[in-house]
Amino acid sequence: MKTAYRTCPLCEAVCGLTITLDDDGHVTEVRGDGDDPFSKGFICPKGASLGRLDEDPDRLRAPLVRTGDRWREVSWQEAFAAVEQGLSRVPGPGRAVYLGNPNAHTMAGALYGPALARALGSRNVFSASTADQMPKHVSSGLMFGDPMTIAVPDLDRTDYLLMLGANPLESNGSLCTAPDFPGRLKALRARGGRLVVVDPRQTRTAKLADEHLFIRPGTDAYLLAGIAHTLFADGLVTVTAPVAGLDEVERAVADLSPLASAEVCGVPADVIVRLAHELAAAPTAAVYARIGTCTAEFGTLAQWLVDVINTITGNLDRPGGVMFPRPATEGPARRKPYRTGRWHSRVRGLPEANGELPVATLADEIETPGEGQVRALITVAGNPVLSAPNGPRLGRALRGLEFMVSVDPYLNETTRHADVILPPPRVLESGHYDFALLNFAVRNYARYSPPALPLDGRPSEAEILARLAVIASGQGADADPALIDELILDGMLRAAVADEGSPLHGRDPAELRASLEGTSGAEVRLDAMVRLGPYGEWNGGVLSLPELLRHPNGLDLGPLEPRLPGVLATASGLVELAPPTILDDLVRLRAGLGRRAPEFVLIGRRHLRSNNSWLHNVGPLVGGTNRCTLQINPADAARLGLGDTAVVRSAAGELAVPVEPTDSIMPGVVSLPHGWGHDGGFQTVAGQNAGVSVNTLTDETVVDPLSGNAVFNGVPVAITAG
């Protein structure tokens, strides 16, 4: 018997788990880790099923190579040779990479994903970010200077939380890393605080709130503009942060009055005015908006308005407001001011953001002939055939590729099109550190989980990605992937010793390199990052890899602290409240003022026991209320004469779906969860609970223009009885 302490990698809440293993490495029990200072023993049904997932018999154990429809297990050496052969047929500009969501939850994704993207030799870098949070990066980049400088609600101290388009009772939170989010919301109410939820559905989170407001999907930017307008018009503006552009913002929202906004968003004007007054009057307040507001037509405008309101109510960067975490691996501040559109996609001319192109245009890039046509694709931890808008079209496009390689533990709707599949090892065979998610944590915190089980000669996911990067850069399948680590370490250490402000100034990089610890390239790089980071041993603090290893249950690094102006990386050194790119986009918002809403619009849905497309093969997590049904208001269902099945049509496609009438959804809105539609018979349990893919209906031709983000909420649909 053995006990392993590990961070759960399944969602953004980073809960600590205590896992019991028998002598053969089988998981016998998973509990919440009561000694974790952040999650304090919290666990959800997904975390509790981690053992089942990790030992799923349908998980791939060896690399697969495809010939026609036949799959063959091969050795790692043979698999990498096949990748080298395949990629060599398509030179750099014709290659693309798609990095899926779990890259935010693996060390490999954080440490080697960027190296792989750089090694491609092409600008065809795509990720799940443009089906998710890219609007937040763009607005934060333009306002604060760095797309990763994201203000998170100070959940544990706020007196008032206005939450839009998030359902943390199902999702456990996003861009707000907070284990036991539900408990933190209950604590907010218990200390006399107020929670207001804005959502077209009365979700479990909405039921917990003091107030729930229905909103027409896709129109949050109107509601938020109406609030900002009221703050200016009623003399409620308090600005404590160093800002530029306050007058421009006032002028920009002058014609977006509560009355005008109410007509589009459906929240009554007097309620919009009251929300503004409540936000201004609360001792501290935070506005927090997530996926429902990001994956929408005015995604970036909504994210911008969120931080405008936080700033002009005096809540930016103060305890109880929204704050900037200080993660243990924080690197030096970026030097160049942030901008988007440094290049554009070949076919649709969509602007780059964060060095990426929108996944909504990946199929265009594969299907459209000409110079730069994508003919080879690498996917890592992604299932875009189910997760991208108009997934079926993307699936057809993948069939036409000259070569595709996928790093994924499953044969699924996307990886079935690959020529080679490289499976990462089990979760318990991998080390874990949350490089990405701890940037957004509501407390400063660090925790490293070393591998709990040995790899016995198989490559770690870090080694798989490093080797792919080495192959893509033309160094051949036999070159040493550790070279990548040494190159990156050398760059970090050289920059540190050259920095006059660093305690390491003038030291010898080789001597520093020699003092780093770790049993893998990934561990050594983690050691370097935390030593150089704000709590690091090389920075007057105590943190290092050995120190992390001495605290397997995690280390509390204290509550969030004010970080302005130092955290800003804008050219002006100020919070840019009125970036011109964003103000220009208000033209679209104003143009929508008189617009008539479609009869029905579609939105998404998440369920606690699901996770995007890939937990449907774990028996205890499927079935029950976690089902792929079309939620519709009973009045709408009756008016349309719907029986058990409805046919839903959109500009992109058509689906027949089981109907679930419920009062919890507002009239004129229907909801389907994403990640279903498991065809191909690759996964036993998932195949028995296949469902349909909502992304048959979502339209890849519509994006949020500033971020290129896909639009999943507010999709116009027509509904008839099936």
Ligand X SMILES: Nc1nc2c(c(=O)[nH]1)N[C@H]1C(S)=C(S)[C@@H](COP(=O)(O)OP(=O)(O)OC[C@H]3O[C@@H](n4cnc5c(=O)[nH]c(N)nc54)[C@H](O)[C@@H]3O)O[C@H]1N2
We find the least distance from the C-beta atom of residue 325 to ligand SF4, in angstroms, to be 17
Tell me which H or E stretch contains 465: helix 461-472
We find the least distance from the C-beta atom of residue 17 to ligand SF4, in angstroms, to be 7
We find the least distance from the C-beta atom of residue 12 to ligand SF4, in angstroms, to be 7
Tell me which H or E stretch contains 206: helix 204-208
Tell me which amino acid residue 507 is: R
Q: Establish if 509 lies at the interface with ligand X (CB under 6 A).
A: no
Q: Establish if 297 lies at the interface with Mo ion (CB under 5 A).
A: no
We find the least distance from the C-beta atom of residue 582 to ligand X, in angstroms, to be 19
Task: Please say whether the beta carbons of 576 and 285 come within 8 A.
Answer: no
Nearer to ligand SF4 (CB atom), residue 10 or residue 378: 10
* Partner that binds at residue 47, options ligand SF4, ligand X, Mo ion, none, CB closer than 5 to 8 Å by kind: ligand SF4
Question: Which of 361, 439, 520, 610 is in the footprint of ligand X by CB under 6 A?
Answer: 610
| Beta-ladder partners of 31 | 18
Nearer to ligand SF4 (CB atom), residue 45 or residue 643: 45
We find the least distance from the C-beta atom of residue 174 to ligand X, in angstroms, to be 4
Q: Establish if 380 lies at the interface with ligand X (CB under 6 A).
A: yes
Q: Which residue is nearest to ligand SF4 (CB)?
A: 47
Site size toward ligand X (CB under 6 A) is: 64
* Partner that binds at residue 408, options ligand X, ligand SF4, Mo ion, none, CB closer than 5 to 8 Å by kind: ligand X
Work out the burial of residue 541: count CB atoms within 10 Å of its CB; fewer than 13 is exposed, 13-18 middle, 19 or more buried: middle
Q: Which residues contact 501 (CB under 8 A, 6 or more apart)?
A: none
Strand segments (E) across 181-230: 194-198, 211-213
Task: Please say whether the beta carbons of 410 and 59 come within 8 A.
Answer: yes
Q: Which tokens belong to 544?
A: 């290092």
Q: Establish if 408 lies at the interface with Mo ion (CB under 5 A).
A: no
Helix (H, G, I), strand (E, B) or coil at 488: helix
Nearer to ligand SF4 (CB atom), residue 443 or residue 531: 443
Q: Which tokens belong to 109?
A: 């994704």
Q: Establish if 106 lies at the interface with ligand X (CB under 6 A).
A: yes
Q: Establish if 79 lies at the interface with ligand X (CB under 6 A).
A: no
We find the least distance from the C-beta atom of residue 414 to ligand X, in angstroms, to be 6
Question: Which of 409, 518, 521, 677 is in the footprint of ligand X by CB under 6 A?
Answer: 409
- The interaxial angle of helices 258-265 and 220-233, nearest 10 deg, is 170
Q: Which residues bind ligand SF4 (CB under 6 A)?
A: 8, 10-11, 13-15, 43-44, 46-47, 172, 179
DSSP state of 574: S
We find the least distance from the C-beta atom of residue 511 to ligand X, in angstroms, to be 35
Strands 125-127 and 95-99 come out as parallel
The stretch near ligand X (CB under 6 A) out of 292-300, 560-568, 584-592, 637-645 is 292-300
Question: Which of 32, 94, 382, 459 is in the footprint of ligand X by CB under 6 A?
Answer: 382
The stretch near ligand X (CB under 6 A) out of 126-134, 532-540, 567-575, 592-600 is 126-134
Q: Establish if 172 lies at the interface with ligand X (CB under 6 A).
A: yes
Helix (H, G, I), strand (E, B) or coil at 328: coil
Question: Which of 131, 252, 685, 706 is in the footprint of ligand X by CB under 6 A?
Answer: 131
Residues in region 453-492 near ligand X by CB under 6 A: 461
- In angstroms, rounded to a whole number, what is the distance separating the alpha carbons of residues 32 and 449? 15
We find the least distance from the C-beta atom of residue 434 to ligand SF4, in angstroms, to be 10
Helix (H, G, I), strand (E, B) or coil at 542: coil
- In angstroms, rounded to a whole number, what is the distance separating the alpha carbons of residues 719 and 670? 9
- From residue 705, how far is each of 357, 395, 603, 699 by CA, in Å? 12, 24, 19, 14
Q: What are phi and psi of 222, to 5 degrees?
A: -70, -50
Nearer to ligand X (CB atom), residue 7 or residue 171: 171
Task: Please say whether the beta carbons of 42 and 15 come within 8 A.
Answer: yes
Distance between first and last Cα of the chain: 54
Q: Establish if 199 lies at the interface with ligand X (CB under 6 A).
A: yes
Question: DSSP string of 47-101?
Answer: HHTHHHHHT-TTS--S-EEEETTEEEE--HHHHHHHHHHHHHTS-GGGEEEEE-G
Residues in region 115-134 near Mo ion by CB under 5 A: 132
Nearer to Mo ion (CB atom), residue 132 or residue 317: 132
Q: Which residues bind ligand X (CB under 6 A)?
A: 11-12, 100-102, 106, 128, 131-132, 164-168, 170-172, 174, 198-201, 203, 215, 217-218, 220, 290-293, 295-296, 380-384, 387, 407-410, 412, 424, 461, 603-604, 606-608, 610-614, 674-675, 694-695, 698, 712-714
Q: Which residues bind Mo ion (CB under 5 A)?
A: 132
